[in-house]
Amino acid sequence: MPYTLEPDQGFDLDIESTEYLKDHVQGADRWVLNFGPQHPATHTTLRLVLELDGERVARCTPHIGYLHSGFEKLGEHHDYNQYVCTVSRMDYVSPILNDVAWHHCVEGLFGIDLTPRAKVLRTIMSELGRIMNHLLCVGAAALDLGAFTGFLYGFNEREHLYDIMEYVSGQRYHPDWTRVGGAWRDLPDDEVFKRMVKNLLHERLPRAIGDLENLLNRNRIFVDRLRGVGCITAEDAISWGLSGPVARASGVRRDVRKDKPYLCFQDNWDGEGAEAVRFSVPVSTEGDCFSRYLVRVEELKQSMAIVEQLIDRIPPGPLNVLDDSKAILPQHGDVYGSIEGVIQLFELKMHNRGWDTPIGETYDCVESPNGELGFYIVSDGGRCAWRAATRPPCFLNYSVFEKLVEGHQLADVPAIIGSLNIIAAELDR
Amino acid sequence: MSAKPVLDHPSLPFVKEAFPDVGLKASEFRGMTTLVVPREKLHEVARFLRDSPECGYDFLSHVLGVDYLDYPVETPGRFAVVYLLASSRHDTRLTIKTFLDPSVDTSGIDFDPELEVDSVTDIWPGAEWPERETFDMYGIRFRNHPDMRRILTWRDFPGHPLRKDYPLRGRGEREHYKTLGRESR
């Protein structure tokens, strides 16, 4: 038996030093299986070329790019407000977090500090986005192993999150809600928003998460299929650039919300000495698929606690920073009711106008459900970014995939893909 | 415009001491410090940044390319490769950057010895895919990379799409894509 499945020995198998697996396909026992790009277990369009030895994966070559649509090229031709609609389509499981990430980085470049109300609302929305993503990922982890019920428990509650997104932004799925210096509109009614979020937090989510945990945590099939599968050590996780729940499941204590705090994760976010929101960062040391599942479930609860702390503290006052400045889009009422409003709208929207931006380069990042989501923006002083490079967490997390599956059974491949939560739209952009 | 940059990044003195005559340059903007390294020294500096206990940049966040064709500010070269580093030990971040100038026509996909950088995959194995993406998008090759292939576009793609001289709507690759029939191999 040349294989070991011990969690604490780095990657499960080192192809180069395993005599048995050294050569490519030859002989009758070795065969090649083309997995994807259209396959239900790949969720979207991933393609794997698996060299199998019986049912064991001897070598795996991922081919990506089937969903490549040139987002970064578009980012160089769309202005800082327009590009949010494209960014939103990257991690389409939690689109609101992409919006927040993009405009967080743009505001870092412009040097804009948001109003307290915008910070609180963005924090609440991004934590709701995280809940949205983890619910799907945890549910899909069960689905990939054949437990359809778990998937429905998770997906059902996402419907109510869509309702909140729709109420806030006007769009159910892709909110495209943020704008430079704030958001495109304020909440229609604070009380209704609070009621919707509290209903979700107190009535729906605890029950759904409880159901999921009861179904899966001690489920013999689920645990046996995930424990000890797809292991990676903390050192490897760091040097391979992994972040988010995948890295934290290996014992890497990194979370952008703590390391490089932003929005309400920062102390004194309202300018009057408010404390940062309190939450803990769940970490596991096993580094296998099961601990990734556990870390995600715990993060769901932490996100709920963060929203709980903020939902009654939404400060009154303006949402957009410097309502009279020339940096933000005017309210609709001003556009239709005053000449200044029309001028300001045209100044920002016409092709030969736009922002007078600083010339420079910045990198900023936020903690997305999959890890560090950042944008490296090069500005030439014009209305569009010169270069809007993404740091997609999925891309880095997936690059380690071939190391994770080699040596495992074919049936473990969907389980490992599910535990990494690969979103092909973000992977390929 | 913003105030004069403050170069108070804690890692800079150590790098300066270890590489005295290399011609390193540093800049700061909005709290982000960028270290510009000559192409030949990039690998050495990167290894120093990871291995020396005072720096300890064990996390390579991303590798990306930038094309400065007709950029309003003069740059030392047309292309740049940017490495975003983070240190778990000291909780600091640093950006290193190297500039390249092409020697052959950039509208094609011909091999250009000037657009070649030493790969850092032996220092941070996670650089493998980001470097492949940089090659795919900008045609910058990485020496000693284990698997220098295109990653997002297909193998025979006749361009490097994120270069500034590549048009936004492409050069008709999609319209003129070869149709494969059942007989053609």
Residue A241: closest CA among B32, B130, B163: B130
Q: Hey, which residues does A47 pair with through a beta bridge?
A: A63
* Band (B53; pLDDT cuts 50, 70, 90): confident
pLDDT given for residue A24 in this prediction: 53
Comparing B53 with A44, which gets the higher pLDDT? B53
Chain B contacts in chain A segment 304-343 (CB below 8 A): none
pLDDT given for residue A131 in this prediction: 93
Domain boundaries, chain B: 12-163
Q: What are the chain B neighbours of A362 within 8 Å (beta carbons)? A: 29-30, 32
| pTM as predicted | 0.87
C-alpha dihedral, A426 to A254 to A144 to A206, nearest 10°: -110
Q: What are the chain B neighbours of A259 within 8 Å (beta carbons)? A: 91
Rounded to an integer, the average pLDDT of B95-119 is 87
B91 to chain A nearest CA, in Å?
Answer: 7
The residue among B27, B78, B151, B168 with the most chain A CBs within 10 A of its CB, best to mutate, is B151
Reported ipTM: the value is 0.90
* Band (B14; pLDDT cuts 50, 70, 90): confident
User: pLDDT tens for residues A49-70?
Assistant: 888 887 888 888 888 888 888 8
Pair A68, B153: CB distance under 8 Å: yes
Residue A360 contacts B where some CB pair is shorter than 8 Å: yes
β strands within A268-358, DSSP E: none
**Mean pLDDT, chain B, integer:** 85
B66/A252 CB distance under 8 A: no
Other beta carbons less than 10 A from residue B176's beta carbon: 9
pLDDT given for residue A384 in this prediction: 86
Cβ-Cβ contacts under 8 Å for A199 (sequence gap 6 or more): A160
pLDDT given for residue A28 in this prediction: 59
User: pLDDT tens for residues A199-253?
Assistant: 999 989 999 999 989 988 888 888 888 888 888 888 889 989 899 999 999 988 8
Tokens of B134: 């940089």
User: pLDDT tens for residues B116-163?
Assistant: 999 999 999 989 999 999 999 998 999 888 888 888 888 778 889 999
Residue A152 contacts B where some CB pair is shorter than 8 Å: no
Residue segments in chain A with a per-residue pLDDT below the cut of 70? 1-28, 322-327
Domain spanning B12-163 has what CATH number? 3.30.460.80
Pair A88, A175: CB distance under 8 Å: yes
Chain B residues within 8 Å of chain A (Cβ atoms): 1-2, 29-30, 32, 34, 58-62, 64, 66-67, 71-73, 82, 84, 88, 91, 93, 95, 124-130, 133, 137, 150-154, 161-162, 168
Pair A244, B61: CB distance under 8 Å: no
B61/A65 CB distance under 8 A: no
Residue A255: closest CA among A232, A282, A290: A282
Please report, for residues A5, A77, A293, B71, the alpha-carbon distance to residue B107 in angstroms, rounded to integers and kept in the order given.
49, 20, 47, 18
pLDDT given for residue A323 in this prediction: 57
Percentage of residues in chain B having pLDDT higher than 70: 95
Please report, for residues A298, B38, B62, the alpha-carbon distance to residue A213 in angstroms, rounded to integers and kept in the order given.
11, 54, 35
Tokens of A63: 């081919």
β strands within A166-280, DSSP E: 178-179, 182-183
A399/B126 CB distance under 8 A: yes
pLDDT given for residue A408 in this prediction: 85
pLDDT given for residue B178 in this prediction: 67
A111/B2 CB distance under 8 A: yes
For residue A81, the 8-state DSSP code is T
Question: Crossing angle for the helix pair A95-110 and A116-144, nearest 10 degrees?
Answer: 140
Domains of chain A: 64-426 (1.10.645.10)
Question: Interior CA angle at A214 toward A211 and A220, to 5°?
Answer: 135
